Structures are given as structure tokens and as C-alpha cells.
Structure 1
Amino acid sequence: MLDRRSLQDQLRRNRRDTGLILMAMALLMSLAGWLLAGGSGVVAALAAAGLALAVNPHNSVAMLRALYRAVPLPVAAAPGLWRGHAELCRRAGLAAVPPLLIIPSRAILALSTGWGRHCAVALSEGALALLPPDEVVAILAHEIAHIRAGDLKLLRLADAAGHLTHTLVAATLILLVFFWPDMMAANALPDLWVVGALVLAPVGCDLLRLSLSRTREFAADAGAAELCGSPEALISALTRLSRDHGTLSPLGWLRLVRTHPTTEERIVRLRNLAPPSFRLPEIVVLGGLPWLHR
């Protein structure tokens, strides 16, 4: 059971924030293209960002396996986990069940990558060994929510916009330095707002990219609560991680340079999804995997 109104409010808020951030990044990238080459620069920048989405997402799965030494988890090795994984994917409406990978690490890790039919979810040995089964289900649901939303696609688009903005601004500044003597002689120096935009556009794009990442984490938390039927298991997992690893909340502007929201912020939003009088549903263990009665 969930507070459906609060869930829908959070989902709408996350969609709105995502749209605004992507629009702001597109404007900064377009501004950098316009300052370099006018209208043709804007068209070229937008086209290049779009091409970033054409890259085969299968490459991201191979990269995850290479970076984390992740290997496929056979169904026979964890049938209960696989049944729960398949059920979460069914609830999420995924066209296919992504492969499960295992990361040989004692740290608690959960990762997802790709979109469409080229995606995968990875859990570490530490996550399976140290977390109770219901919390494993919750973090698995969080990763599946990322896949359902196509978050890697959004973040890849944001990365492309950020890199293009940096490149366009650098090229424009090089041209300004090269032609500065001629512009001085012709009394045609650029306005201060142009110089300021060139300096601030890459910084603004980087901050927006980080903000998008945090927004998508909030969205995945809400999606996980929806898939599990309750936010409590994910709250428990986050609380455990915060306690075990002693995570500190950054102060003030330092929060702007994080890829993830603070644990406290995530827990507050998750608690808003369940009314105070909510009684936890009975947890039934099936083949070593808990599931929640709906």
C-alpha cells in the first residue's frame, strides 16, 4: 500500500524537473553554438547531441562488465532472486527481463546500464550477503526503475550536451584570442555579456548535469517504492548504508556537486510516500526471496 497521491505528486515533480533541466542544458549548448557559428552552430550542436543517442547501448553493458569484473548470475545459482527480478520487470512493463550480473566485491553495490533490450542489472556479492532479502529486492527495484525510465539515455544526452558546450566554448575563446588584435583595431570588441556567457556556460552545464542525476535518483526511489508496494524496505536499506558507512551530509553549495542526493533527502521523500498510520504488509518468503502482498 502506498499513498498514491504523494507518489503521483513526486513523479510529476521529477518529470517537470527533468524537462526543465534538459531544456536549460539545450539552451546553454545552443548559445555556445550560436556564439561560435550563428544559426548553423546551433543546428550542428543539436544534431551532434542527438547522435549521442544513436550509440549502441550494448556497449554500456560491456563496459560495466569490464569495469567491475561483473559476470552473469545463472538462474540456477539464485532462482528466488531471479523470480523476484522477473516479477519486478513484469510490474515495470519491461519488454524483456534484463540479465542479472554479479560483481565480485564485498562492498554493497547495485548498478544498472543500458535501455531497451540492451540493458543489465548488477548486484555485488556484498549486497547479497549483507542485506536482508527485502532490502535486496528494494535496491533491485530501484535499478529496474532506472531502466524503465531510460535514465541512461537521458544522462548520456546530458553528457553529450555538456561535452559539446565545453568544446564549443573552448573553440570560441581560441578564436577570440586569435582575432582580438583585429577586433581592437576595428573597435569591435565583444560585449561583456558575451564573454560572461562563454565563461559561465560550461560551469552551468556541469551543474545542470549533476542536478539531472540527482533528480533521476529521486525518481528511481519513487519508482522502486511503486514496484515493491511500499517504501519501507528501501528506507531500511538506505538507513543501513548510512549507518554502516558513516556517510556525511555535505553543507550548502557542496550539495550542488553531488551526483546523488543525500541519504537524508532520499529518506524524507520516501517517507512521504507512506501515511504515518500505514501498517507494513506481511512479508512472505518464497524460495529465499521475500515478496509483499498487494
Structure 2
Amino acid sequence: MHLLIFGHGYSAGFLTPLLVQEGWTVSGTTRGSSDRVRAAGANPLLWPGDEDGVARAIAQADAILASVAPDGDADPVLAAFGPQIAAAKPSWLGYLSTTGVYGDREGGWVDEDSPLEPATRRGKARVAAEAEWQALADKAALPLHIFRLAGIYGPGRGPFRKLRDGTARRIVKPGQVFSRIHAADIAQAVAASLSGKGGPGIYNLCDDDPAPPQDVIEHAARLLDMPVPPEIAIDDAEMTPMALSFYAESKRVRNDRMKDHLGITLIHPDYRSGLSAILREEEDGAGWTSAAPRA
């Protein structure tokens, strides 16, 4: 079985080794260095650049996973290769989206059937991209699996580096909560889907414990036996527009469908488990530490 991953970045670095162990061949596109793609066990394809090679991989793929963010109002994968994907008729088609499509719920719960009410430009672009992928799947009769990812963390993407270099901040917005997902749990969920579990549809990928961001920083500091950074009210914090946008939405995301349909038992059901594992891996010198864009 051959999987083609568009955008072989951080999340794919956890998925590929699982699949290779199960006998899959994995190819992944990259914009730059191929080293991290090869290190994960995938065959690198330069894109943009090697369009012919990517087209051949599409034709040969049993499964295709898109992990590329929208470019403005368009999905770059579909813009470049939509007709080829439709013609190839893969037996499995996946798209990594974001729980940002739900928008702000003032701390309330959402599930896969909740209305899409994105509050940010990025969220609106993801809603449009999901619709593009669904339109392709409907027209070509392809089995589309949309995975809406909560905030991704893992080795190299935890709060420990900022705590150690003194740049970690505990910014507090009353009532603010985020859902998260460790990259290892993204990998096991997508791998379960590729094995035939669940069937086409939409799946929220997140852990069991939505939490305020300042609590995560506090717990990480205590794990390092370091002083807990003081709280900073969001109105007093100097933040970039990008950073502020993450605080524009507050919600708790349900993961029942992931567990029930994909048969997932979370490796890291909360940030405490995930942070402890990251620290152990960092101390052992193990773990994937890609600087690639999220998902």
C-alpha cells in the first residue's frame, strides 16, 4: 500500500513511522530539505518543483493525505492537482483541517455536527478548503476523511524551551480554554482510519482535557522545577496579531466520534501526560523535532 502525503511536516513525522512498520510505502512532498522526510521513513518529493514526480505518485497512490494550509482563499493541492486526484480514484482520501472552523463558543462544547462559525481569517479559509475537498470527493465519488485537529504539541513543540530561555508567559484571559492533541495521537487516529476503521466522515482529533493556556505553562514549569512565570492579563500583554488571534476563540472540543468510530484510546489523554512524555523524550534525546509548519 502506498500513501502520498502532501505537506510532510510535523504531524506526518509521527504518522509515517507507524505506517512503514505496517508495510506501507509513504511518499511526502516538501518545499525544502528532504532530510526530515527521509528520516521519518518517507520518499521525499519536491513540490513546488517536481510536478511530474508528484503526478506519478498521485497515480500510484492507494491513499492520499493533504496536510497543506490554504493559500489565501484557495487550497493549493487542489489548485495544482485536483483533476489528477479525481482521476486516480484513491481508495482513501484524507484532509487535515482544524477545530478553528467552529469559531468562538465562549468556552462551550462543540462536536462534528456543530455549525461552522469561524472567527478568524485562517478559520474561514479552512472552512472554504474543507468545502473544496468535499466537492471534489462528491463529484469523483471519493471516500473523504476530514480530521479537525486541535492545538498540536509534541517533542520540540512543548513549552519547555521557552521556560528554559526565560521567554514563557502566562497570559490570562478569563474563561479562555483550548483543546489540544499530542502528535502521537494524531498519528494513531489517522493510521486507524487508513486501516479501514470509521469510514469516510469528519473527526475531531483532540484530547480529553480542554484547559487554560496558563495552566499548561504552570504545569510545565513545575515539571522542570522552575519558578512559575507570573500571570499577565491579556490587556496588558504585548502580542502580535497572530498571537492575539489564538485568544479570539475559546471552546471545548468533543472527541467521542474519534474514540467510538476509530477505536482510539488516547496515548496522552491530557496535557499532563503529554508534557511528561515530552520531557522524558527530550532527556533521552529522542523524538521528532521538525520545525515544519503545523499539520
**Bin of the TM-score, shorter chain as denominator length:** under 0.3
Question: How does the TM-score come out when normalised to structure 2?
Answer: 0.23
